[in-house]
Every structure is written in structure tokens, then in C-alpha cells.
Structure 1
Amino acid sequence: MADVLDHALRTLADNLRHHRTQRAWTQDDLAQASGISRRMIAALEAAQNNVSLSTLDHLAQALNLTFVELVSPRLSAGTGEVQRGATLWTTPHAASQAVLINTVPARHGTELWHWHLSPGEHYAASPDPQGMMELLYVLHGQLTIEFQERTTHLHAGDSLTYPSDQPYTYRNTGPTLTEFIRNVTH
């Protein structure tokens, strides 16, 4: 697991540094444009920090990139090559993780994720840009999704589509590992 996360962090570090220097920006310039601290950017460029998906969104927007362009190995999307996926979120409980499996060009982009949440774990998401949608499919266990005005409970075999331009939280309130597929379109 550590090797997979290390590879994803190195890919992120390389992409972040590459796109920042292409714009002739310093880390301070990127910090100002993204609202992310220079210290966090330096740690990410050194592949030394696990990062929230929201932070990655802010960095991608500041660099005028899609999320996928920031985190994927360059030249990987749409090449016809087999993709292994990149673990981009994890907790100290190694079983909880989010893996970006692949991406395909769409109007703006489509992401395919494979998530695992251990019992009692959660992930609180910041709102995505307006117009983004998510499609979830629960493979195993149960998934609770908390929105501002409602809570939805999904079990293995259930799916849900919703606009992701709102705050939401994935939560495993069950006794076993929850496994689900997440498809994001923008």
C-alpha cells in the first residue's frame, strides 16, 4: 500500500512542479493563486504529504488544469494503455482509500474511482465546481451520504446520482468494509 501511495505522490509532485514552472510561477505565486500554503505546496512537490482531494481541486483550478491532469501520469488518459490506478486518498487505517482508476475525455472530463471505507471512517468533500455530477455504485457493505438537507443510505447493489457542487460526506456506519465505485463527470 505504501508503494502505491508513494508512486501517486511522486506523480502528483512531478505534475505540480512541471505545471507550476511552465507558468514561470514560484511556489509563493501558486500559493497566492490557489489559497494553499506555500509550505503545503513545498511538501507536495517533495512527495512528502498525503493531501485532501479538496486541496488538489484548488491547485488544479489555480493552474487551469482538470483534477485528472494534475494527478495522472502525463500522457496516460485516452492512450489505449492499461491503467493501474492511483491511490490519492487514504487514512491511517490502510483499508480506507480512494483510487482514481482511469479517465476518459468528455465534455470536460470523466473520472472513475474505486473507494474503500473501513467501519467508522468518513470522507468530507468540499463542493465541486457547478455542473459536476457523481454516480455511485456500492459493491460491498453500506454507504451513508450526508448532504446539507438530507441523508441517503445505500447498500450493496444500490446506486445514486447527484450534483456534487454541494458539500457532502461519505460515511461507513456499518460493521464491515464498504466498497464503492464513484464516477465523476464535469
Structure 2
Amino acid sequence: MSPEPAPPLATIAVALRRERDRVGISLTELARRAGIAKSTLSQLESGVGNPSVETLWALGVALGVPFSRLVEPPAAAVRVVRAGEGPRIRSEHSDLTATLLAAGTAHARRDVYLLELEPGTVRTAESHTPRSVEHIVVGAGRLRVGPEGDPVELGPGDYATFPGDTPHRYEALVAGTFAVLVMEHP
């Protein structure tokens, strides 16, 4: 008997199976729609592997659900996320770590993330679910963020909003940059 997968892998495994069953598609079809290997998806549904932000976003888009639906554990009545805790997912293309702080519900589809970024690489994001909107507030450092063709530079306390359903980017301009990202999903 194999050991139980550790969170967030256990959460991701259950969520992938649940959402794939909800949509009514096979493992092969979901892998095709997400542009990932069937073996990778099979491993993730078994609670093994090390999924990147990009892989989970692709699966969320293919399933028509927000990223948070794949990584958020079941909610408690009172929930506290201590600094440095929470489901942390790293980008494979840039020095960006996203920590899901809160996920929306069926009635309030919004997710809250803490982003930690370091300069040196740009995190480019593909389009998310249609009509998604991103809201971002910089807590420290400097950040260039927004649609690929029209990014803006933000400093501590600055806020920006932009469509999440078009390609966009996040780029730390100084070390120790962090921001709070709120994603709205229709």
C-alpha cells in the first residue's frame, strides 16, 4: 500500500478527479485540452508529482475552473494562514511563488494570492478563464505588471487592475517584491 500524498498534492489529486468527473471527460481528453502528457495528469490524480503554476493553470482553463479550485483545501469556519504557510506553488519559468490565501465560493468567485517575486526573469501568464479580472496591490518592492502590450510599473501601495483573460506578465524590478493579487472569475 502506498503512503498518502502530502498536501497540497492530496488536495490537487482530489480536485482534479472531482472536476474532471464534473465535466465528464476522460483523463486522455483533459490531458489533450490542457496540453500536458497523460502520464503527468495520471500522476497528479494519484497524488504524486510536482506540478508547476503553469501546469495547474492549464488544467484549470481546460476544466473551466479557477486555479484555486485545484489547490484550495476544504474550508473551515475560521481560517488563518500564517506568514510562510499555505499552498505555495512555484513558477517553472520565473522566480515567482504564489500562495493561495483564500478561494472564492460558487457565489463569490474570487481568489486571493500572496505573490513573492524576485528580479531576473519575467513571469508570463497565458489567458485565464474568459472574463477573468486581476486586481493587484504591491506591498513591497517594485513590480511591472499587466497585459503583454501594456504593462505598468507599481510601487508599494500602488493598485492596478487588468483583464486576466489575455496574456499578461509579472516582473519584479527589485529584490524582495511582494504583492496581493485578487482574481475575479465570472
TM exceeds 0.5?
yes
What SS is found at the alignment partner of 2:182? strand
Corresponding residue pairs, total: 175
What are the residue-to-residue correspondences of 1:10-49 with 2, within 5 Å? 10-20=10-20, 26-45=26-45, 46-49=47-50
Instruction: Select which of 77, 80, 85 maps to 1:80.
Output: 77
Residues 22/150 of structure 1: CA separation in 2 closer, same or farther (3 Å cut): closer
8 A contact 2:40–2:49 mirrored in 1: no
Shift of 1:21: 5.6
Task: Tell me the TM-score normalized by structure 1.
Answer: 0.78
Q: Distance in 1 between matches of 2:35 and 2:7?
A: 26
Counterpart position of 2:165? 165
State the identity %. Answer: 25
The one-letter amino acid of 1:179's match is: F
Structure 2 alignment gaps of length 5 or more:
1-5
What SS is found at the alignment partner of 1:129? coil
Counterpart position of 1:183? 182
Residues 25/167 of structure 1: CA separation in 2 closer, same or farther (3 Å cut): closer
Aligned alpha-carbon RMSD (Å): 2.8
Q: Distance in 2 between matches of 1:69 and 1:49?
A: 17
8 A contact 2:69–2:103 mirrored in 1: no
Counterpart position of 2:153? 153
Shift of 1:129: 2.4
Task: Tell me the TM-score normalized by structure 2.
Answer: 0.78
8 A contact 2:133–2:162 mirrored in 1: yes
Does residue 111 (structure 1) correspond to residue 108 (structure 2)? The answer is no
Q: Distance in 1 between matches of 2:139 and 2:51?
A: 26
Q: Distance in 1 between matches of 2:98 and 2:30?
A: 26
Q: Distance in 1 between matches of 2:129 and 2:18?
A: 24
Counterpart position of 1:140? 140
8 A contact 2:20–2:30 mirrored in 1: yes
Q: Distance in 2 between matches of 1:155 and 1:71?
A: 29
The one-letter amino acid of 1:82's match is: R
Query: Which stretch of the first structure deviates more once superposed, 160-169 or 144-153?
Result: 144-153
Q: Residues 117-168 of structure 1: CA distance to partner in whole angstroms, max 9, x if unpaired?
A: 1222432111122321111110010001253322311111111111111111
8 A contact 1:8–1:88 mirrored in 2: no
8 A contact 1:103–1:111 mirrored in 2: yes
What SS is found at the alignment partner of 2:9? helix
What SS is found at the alignment partner of 2:7? helix
The one-letter amino acid of 2:59's match is: L
What SS is found at the alignment partner of 1:105? coil
Query: Which stretch of the first structure deviates more once superposed, 27-36 or 108-117?
Result: 27-36
The one-letter amino acid of 1:57's match is: W
Q: Distance in 2 between matches of 1:18 and 1:110?
A: 20
Q: Residues 55-100 of structure 1: CA distance to partner in whole angstroms, max 9, x if unpaired?
A: 3233234445443222211x32xx523143311235599x841101
